[in-house]
Amino acid sequence: MNNWSLIDTNFEESYQLKETLYSTANGYLGVRGSFEEGVSNNIPSVRGIYINGFYESEEIVYGEKLHGFPDRSQSILNVIDTQEIIIKINGEKFSLFSGKVLFYKRILNAKTGIVTRTIEWESPKKEIVKLVFKRLASFEQLELFLINCSIEAVNFEGEIEVLSIINGDVSNIVSSDDPRVGTANAKALSVIEMTVDNNASFIEAKTKHSNLKVVGGISHQFPSNFTETIQKDKDKFTHIFKGNIKQGASINFTKFAVYTDTNRHPNELKENQSIIRSVIKNSFNYYVDLQKKYLDDFWEFADVKIEGDNEMQQGLRFNLFHLVQSVGKDRWSNISAKGLSGEGYEGHYFWDTEIYIFPFFLFTNPKFAKNLLNYRFNILDFARKRARQMGHNIGALYPWRTIAGDECSPFFPAGTAQYHINVDIAYSIIQYYKVTDDLDFMANKGLEMLIEIARLMFHIGHFRDSDNKFCIDDVTGPDEYTCIVNNNYYTNVLTKNLFTEISEIYNNVKSKHENILNSVLEKLQFQNSELTNFSKAGKAMFLPFDEKRNLHPQDDSFFNKKVWDFENTPKENYPLLLNYHPLTLYRHQVCKQADTILGHFLMENESSLEAIKNDYNYYEKITTHDSSLSTCIFSIMANRIGEYDKAYNYFMNTARLDIDNLHHNTKDGIHTACMGGSWMSIVFGFAGMRVVNGKLNFHPHLPKNWTSLSFKINFKNSILKCNLSADNFEVSLLTGNSIEILVDDNPMMIK
Active-site residues: which are they? Answer: 480
Separation between Cα atoms, residue 156 and residue 159, nearest integer Å: 10
Q: Residues 85, 166: contact at Cβ < 8 Å? A: no
Distance (Å, whole) CA 475 – CA 485: 5
Name which of 676, 690, 718, 682 is nearest 360 in CA terms. 676
Rg of the Cα atoms in the chain: 27
Measured from the Cβ of residue 124, the count of other Cβ atoms closer than 10 Å reads 9
Residue 156 to residue 648: CA distance in whole angstroms: 54
Provide φ and ψ at 176, rounded to 5°: -105, -5
Q: Is 709 left (phi over 0), alpha (psi -120 to 50) or beta?
A: beta
- Of all helices (H) and strands (E), which one includes residue 449? helix 447-460
Measured between alpha carbons, how far is 70 from 12 in angstroms, rounded to an integer? 42
The C-alpha atoms of residue 482 and residue 555 are separated, in whole angstroms, by: 9
Residue 26 amino acid letter:
N
d(CA 400, CA 467): 32
Partners of 93 in the β-ladder: 88
Name the DSSP letter for residue 81: B
Amino acid present at 36: E
DSSP secondary structure, 615-643, as one string? HHHHHHHTB---STTSHHHHHHHHHHTT-
| Rounded CA separation 169/370 (Å) | 37
Whether the Cβ atoms of residue 599 and residue 543 lie closer than 8 Å to each other? no
Side-chain-facing half-sphere of 193: CA atoms under 13 Å: 14
Across 473-575, the runs of DSSP E, i.e. the strands, are 562-563
Calculate the alpha carbon distances from 144 to 49, 215, 535 in Å: 12, 12, 50
Burial (CB count within 10 angstroms: exposed 0-12, middle 13-18, buried 19+), residue 459: middle
How far from the centroid of its chain's Cα atoms is residue 316's Cα?
Answer: 15
542, 546, 551, 553 alpha-carbon torsion, rounded to 10°: -60
- Give the C-alpha separation, 95 to 120, whole Å: 11
Residue 167, SS3? strand
State the Cα–Cα distance between residues 217 and 199, nearest whole angstrom: 11
Which residues in 356-388 are b (16+ Cβ under 10 Å) and which e? bbbbbbbbbbbebbbbbbbbbbbbbebbbbbbe
Nearest Cα residue to 392 out of 484, 460, 485 = 460
Instruction: Measure Cα distances from 614 to 87, 552, 562, 619, 642 in Å.
Output: 63, 9, 19, 9, 13
Summary count for the chain: helices (H), strands (E): 20, 31
Residue 645 CA to chain centroid, in angstroms? 28
From the list 624, 732, 640, the residue with the least C-alpha distance to 690 is 640
Name 560's Cβ contacts closer than 8 Å, sequence gap at least 6: none
Q: How many CB atoms lie within 10 A of CB 5?
A: 17
Judge contact between 205 and 49, C-beta under 8 A: no
Count how many residues are written for the chain.
751
Report the C-alpha gap between 389 and 456 in whole angstroms. 13
